[in-house]
Amino acid sequence: MIRINLLPVREARRKANLQQFGLMVALALGIAIAGIVLFHLSMMHEISSAQSGVVQMKQQIDAFKPQLAQVEQYRAKKADIERKLGVIHDLDRSRSGPVHVLDELSSHVPERLWLTSMEAVSSGVTLQGMSLDNEVVATFMKALEDSPYFQDVELRSTELAERDGLKLNKFEIHALLKNPEVTPVQTGGTGNPAADAPVRAAAASTR
């Protein structure tokens, strides 16, 4: 019977398998290393591009700084001019306020009624006058309520008085003054001299 020794064949096959496995591992490591290198190079390129973009942006910002400074100067000048125009406009409206108030009074005073005094007080304005009857006073108060320059018209007092042999109705009316183009006058004034000027000027012009 012939005997054949297979050990060398098996050993050669095992070595061949080990060599094949080693080659596969080496190939896998090579591919992984190549991928890592490529990823690293890509990231470095992106970082370099980003840094270059930042540098260019800074250069553009530095180039536009003089223009930005001029824009801010123009904005500041515009705001200052608008503020001055606002003050002038308020003063102009306040100057015309007493004229409108007196014109409203003169146009709303009915026949058989006349005013004897007009006084500005802390809560508004007080009107005193004479009339032939109470109905005329009521008509006058209704006209003041309808006027855009008066509000909260209130009859403070009314009494009979005799003048030149005639029996007349003496009355006192209190109302708040307001200017429809400025801030309405509240109790104690608005705290704004331009808005409160119509009250003081109208009262002074009737004294």
Q: Please give the helix or strand (H or E) that residue 73 lies within, else none.
A: helix 7-108
DSSP string covering 4-48, please? ---HHHHHHHHHHHHHHHHHHHHHHHHHHHHHHHHHHHHHHHHHH
Number of Cα atoms under 13 Å in the Cβ half of residue 138: 3
- pLDDT value of residue 16: 77
Cα distance between residue 82 and residue 89, in whole Å: 10
What spatial distance separates the first Cα and last Cα of the chain, rounded to whole Å? 155
Each residue's pLDDT expressed in tens, for the chain with a length of 207 residues: 555 555 566 777 777 778 888 888 888 888 989 889 888 888 888 898 888 888 888 888 888 888 888 888 878 887 877 777 766 555 555 554 566 778 888 888 888 898 988 887 766 789 999 998 889 999 999 999 998 888 899 999 999 888 877 889 999 999 988 767 654 444 444 444 444 444 444 444 444
Count of Cβ atoms closer than 10 Å to residue 108 Cβ = 19
Q: Which residue segments constitute the domains of the chain, with CATH numbers given? A: 89-206 (3.30.1360.100)
Cα distance between residue 127 and residue 125, in whole Å: 7
- pLDDT value of residue 206: 43
DSSP string covering 143-185, please? HHHHSTTEEEEEEEEEEEEEETTEEEEEEEEEEEE--TTSPPP
Question: Which residues touch 78 (CB under 8 Å, ≥6 apart)?
Answer: none
